[in-house]
Amino acid sequence: MWPEAFAARYRERGYWTGTVLGDVLRRGAGRHPRRTALVDGDRRYDYAALDAWADRTAAGLLGIGIAAGDNVVVHLPNTAEFVSLSFALFRIGARPVYALPAHRRSEIAHMCAVSEAVAYVIPDRHAGYDFRGLAAEVRAEAPALRHVLVAGDPGPFTALSDVGADPVPLPDPDPSSVALFLLSGGTTGLPKLIPRTHDDYAYNLRASAEVTGLGEDTVYLAALPVAHNFPLACPGVLGTLHAGGTVVLTASPSPADAFPLIERERVTVTALVPALALLWLEAAKATRRDVSSLRLLQVGGAKLKEGPARRVAPELGCALQQVFGMAEGLLCYTRGDDSDEVVATTQGRPLCPDDEVRIVDADGVDVEPGATGQLLTRGPYTLRGYHRAPEHNARAFTDDGFYLTGDLVRALPSGHLVVEGRVKEVINRAGEKVSTEEVEGHLLAHPAVHDAALVGVPDDLLGERSCAFVLPRGAAPSHAELTAFLRDRGLADYKLPDRVEVLTAFPYTAVGKVSKKALARRAAD
């Protein structure tokens, strides 16, 4: 957590206001109870109804013994239950640990273990997958888990809809306490949990809503998985509810599903990763749907190339905002009054005047202005440490609390940043982050794999794809065999290598480490 001098400054400057996240919805329900807050397919909730639902769920959760300080792994797709449950948990001071829909046993069991979760919340089925089977496996591995709650048909577990009771007086969480945990995409080895406090996340969503120009007339389409920081609070679902707008949920961001919703609900703002933005640009050429209500498209999660950036306004008929963000905190946005040039060629500038940014060389020394180096940052909504990861924290932060982002950037005199690459061992596959060390660890568990190295290969659509180089032990395993093996180990699909290449030896660097650069060149060729 932040040292007291920093906390005092962030309060004094009005970033931390003592707002708890449960109040974001409560205020809207008081001011405009009949306005539509949330649309999920045919289900529509006004602010009063969503607020009352969250209160009933909060009372029900307390009733089954979930209390302040408890952690709950929330593994729900973009559904109304995700939103009402999140507010219920915020209100009782229990902390959602947000899993992505694509996560499977390996990730979920790890999240349950690290957070000592007391409950795990799933849909019955989603995207052709039965989550109740997964829950049975996870429960066998997670002794602290007391409840499995299911949105839909519960099977052997408890229906989330049965966890409801008449509202009871609720405790007031401390605004400086942890409100939720996000999953890190940018670290080594197993995924880390990022604690976000009420104060810091309330600032995150409020300032993001301001800089993005959200208001009561905003209709925000949540097309990316809302468990991710970007569509959740940048400004996303929570920022839209703070601004008094309407959130429209879709589980599928494909143009075939999203365009009809934009037409029907007169959507004004949405957020996409570059790979999806490219699909939308192509689909916009031929669509008969009226998407003219769109005023702003946010694109982030991976670098948007200048070519597609320049196509957004003419081809989709809306403004573009580039977003360079991270679940760890720092958010950079291009602004409405930035020139077209800046919007097309930079990834924005930091959200908060008190976001401190350093750009350093390999020795940790600040580079000359305009030169490229690793981005370090600290500020009022950037974490000071991962949850229960002291060894990793010692490497991921400087002694004075700067977070090492692992991103290579350069700064323009205006403060806008251009992302030039990264030093971290992560593959950014269509905005989804794949830790090479994590996947290599699983590959090494295969009896026919002597050694393994995963590298990213540039890809026109996804930005990057993954290629696994393996040194076999005996007969080389096939791609299909390795894929089945990794799936069996419970790894999310987006982490499966897109390609497997068998080698007899790895190239090495001068200091005797496997040369990922040489392997990446080889894969790209």
Residue numbers of the site for ligand J2J (CB under 6 A)?
185-186, 229-230, 234, 300-303, 322-327, 331, 347, 405, 407, 419, 422, 428, 431, 433
Let me know how long the chain is.
525
Would you give the end-to-end CA distance of the chain in angstroms? 46
Q: Which is nearer to ligand J2J, 57 or 270 (CB)?
A: 270
Q: Tokens representing 397?
A: 């932060």
Question: For residues 91 and 424, which CB has a smaller minimum distance to ligand J2J in the complex?
Answer: 424
C-beta separation of 223 from 300 below 8 A:
no
Can you read off the two tokens belonging to residue 395? 């490497």
Smallest distance from the beta carbon of 295 to ligand J2J, in angstroms?
Answer: 19
Residue 60 CB, nearest approach to ligand J2J (Å): 31
Which is nearer to ligand J2J, 410 or 446 (by Cβ)?
410
Closest CA to 52 of 19, 91, 17: 91
Q: Are 421 and 429 in contact (CB under 8 A)?
A: no
- Rounded-to-10 torsion of CA 75, 78, 79, 82: 50
Least gap, CB of 404 to ligand J2J (angstroms): 10
d(CA 437, CA 440): 5
| Measured CA angle at 269 (ends 263, 272), to 5 deg | 100
How far is it, in rounded angstroms, from Cα 146 to Cα 160?
14
Is 114 in contact with 193 (CB distance < 8 Å)? Answer: yes
Q: Which is nearer to ligand J2J, 3 or 336 (CB)?
A: 336
57 versus 321: smaller Cβ distance to ligand J2J: 321
In this chain, which residue has its C-beta nearest to ligand J2J?
Answer: 325
The structure tokens 């070519």 sit at: 307
Cα→Cα distances 494→432, 433, 498, Å: 7, 9, 9
Give the nearer residue to ligand J2J in terms of CB position, either 251 or 419.
419
Between 194 and 452, whose beta carbon lies closer to ligand J2J? 194
* CA atoms of 123 and 74, how far apart (whole Å): 10
Q: How far is the CB of 288 from ligand J2J (least distance, A)?
A: 31
Compute the distance between CA of residue 373 and CA of residue 363 in angstroms, rounded to an integer. 10
Distance in angstroms (rounded) separating the CA atoms of residues 204 and 200: 6
**Nearer of residues 29 and 323 to ligand J2J, judged by Cβ:** 323
Give me the least distance between CB of 231 and ligand J2J, in Å please: 8
Shortest distance, position 405 Cβ to ligand J2J, whole Å: 5
* Smallest distance from ligand J2J to CB 392, Å: 15
* CB of residue 223 to ligand J2J, shortest distance in Å: 13
Q: How far is the CB of 81 from ligand J2J (least distance, A)?
A: 22
Nearer to ligand J2J, 229 or 246 (CB): 229
Question: Quick one: which of 429, 502, 506 has its CA closest to 468?
Answer: 502
What span, in angstroms and rounded, lies between the C-alpha atoms of 26 and 39? Answer: 18
If the CB atoms of residues 236 and 490 are measured against ligand J2J, the closer one turns out to be 236
Listing DSSP states for 383-432 in one string gives -SS-TT-HHHHHHHB-TT--EEEEEEEEE-TTS-EEEEEE-SSEEEETTE
Contact, 496 vs 465, CB < 8 A? no
Structure tokens at 524: 């790209």
Compute the least distance from the CB of residue 48 to ligand J2J, in Å.
29
Choice between 45 and 98, CB closer to ligand J2J: 98
> Within 13 Å of residue 384, how many CA atoms lie on the same side as its CB?
14
d(CA 345, CA 320): 11
Q: How far is the CB of 187 from ligand J2J (least distance, A)?
A: 10
